[in-house]
Chain A
């Protein structure tokens, strides 16, 4: 999780990723951020995020994204 928080902070700093649950709903992340996050997460955790997992619910909070990564790692 710490590694993910660091990735997020490097891509788009100045956000309280540990507590924010509205990264998408409040327009904090834009499409440039999303593409960067997908790319970084894929290489850091060696997972492939399929298109049907690129949905707001999985990106609204660091916790949700972490759950997705864990789920994909298990598969």
Chain B
């Protein structure tokens, strides 16, 4: 198998009338998805677009998913942009891509026209029913390689300019095969998608749906504010599998939703991107004793997720849910500063080796060269690994445990401090729901933000007995909630700005 479209081509003739992708009021069958993908691909091919980025700028809808596959049929690679993405960010992305064509819908067309990017704007609704050009599609497929790109997704760069991660067919196929094994997806899987379509996170639902002939519901974003309605939606659609960010899961458990309503069909719960507070995690396990829970970890640069841990034991307050080990056909190297392997128990940078490593950052050789590097353990032939910048250690069971981002490592009063380590200690305290540490570089201060029922003086007192003096936060700030980035990670940058900016103002 060399092309992700083969998943669809095997499933569509077998289950033409089954629902593939749906939301609260639209259902697309495999037959329709197949026809429109080929129609869209033909329309792009007829206009001469080939082996280049095609921006898909639409609102979150099954049609947007369908457009992705159309772009791949044309031998191009899709670049998903969300309708809610700020114009400034879209501008930066367009500067990098310089796209010749953008596919829009009625909701995004006006904004797309304002971008003045000099390329063509196509309306999805006008091109998707193009009669398929069988000969053109055949030629494109014949020339396609499994190392050709399939998509570019943009992640935030530390410099403020988004980096476009380019992934190829082979990496996506490798991911879908091994993820499906680990989470035991099959034809009866009904996914409830939470993650935005403009990140690689949605690969988990989109491609296994094609592979198995499963069904994916795109859950309306608004429901993630209203926990009871959300669970009712899961029940109405008989959703049995969710791969959500932790904050979406805790939104449900934290407000006592399970006392009112429980997800009746849910059997597979995968989560990631953040540490799951154990108290909330256990509420989920009690509510769904039959379900399997799997922690996922992985950077976009290694195609979706690369490590998983299926929960197989009890976790109490103070325990850490490990990220486990790599998917089949992926290896994780924990490298120390001197590029040697970290012994068990000692921290090392998570480095990914295997087919899952993506092609690099689009038109950004400098950043690519920094993170996609020669495997330092191999001096015999070229072999690229991806350095995640994340630190982990192997526990006594041989499982990987995430520690923190490498950048959160600070030097303070001669000590090397992991901010993640401070957070881990804070999270062990009773009545702490979540915490986040940032470092005010200018004033050399450790600033701790937390959400919980305890006041900051008692928290400070508790920490004095648990942390070495040099690790004690200088400033403790209680918040009602912590901000998250669009892909569900704690927004550390914003917290840092809140602190340094707030101080500057007064």
Residues in chain A within 8 A of chain B (CB atoms): 11, 24, 27, 29-32, 34-36, 38-40, 49-52, 54-56, 59
Contacts and interface: CB of A to CB of B under 8 A. Distances in A.
Interface string B248-263: 0001000111011100
B74 interface: no
B260 A31 contact: no
Contacts of B425: none
Interface of B: 222, 224-229, 251, 255-257, 259-261, 480-481, 483-484
The SS class assigned to the A binding surface is helix
B225 A36 contact: no
Contacts of A40: 480
A39 B228 CA distance: 17
24 contacts: A11-B480, A24-B225, A27-B222, A30-B225, A32-B483, A32-B484, A34-B225, A35-B480, A35-B481, A38-B255, A39-B480, A40-B480, A50-B255, A50-B259, A50-B260, A51-B228, A51-B255, A51-B256, A51-B259, A54-B225, A54-B227, A54-B228, A55-B226, A56-B229
Contacts, number: 50
B222 A24 contact: yes
B481 A36 contact: yes
Contacts of A59: 225
Contacts of A55: 226, 228-229
Given A35-B251, A50-B260, A56 B480 contact: no
Contacts of B259: 50-51
B244 to A, nearest CB: 13
A24 B257 CA distance: 20
Contacts of A29: 225
Contacts of B255: 38, 49-51, 54
Given A35-B251, A35-B480, A36-B481, A51 B257 contact: yes
Contacts of B260: 50-52
A30 B247 CA distance: 13
A11 B483 CA distance: 12
Nearest to B484: A32
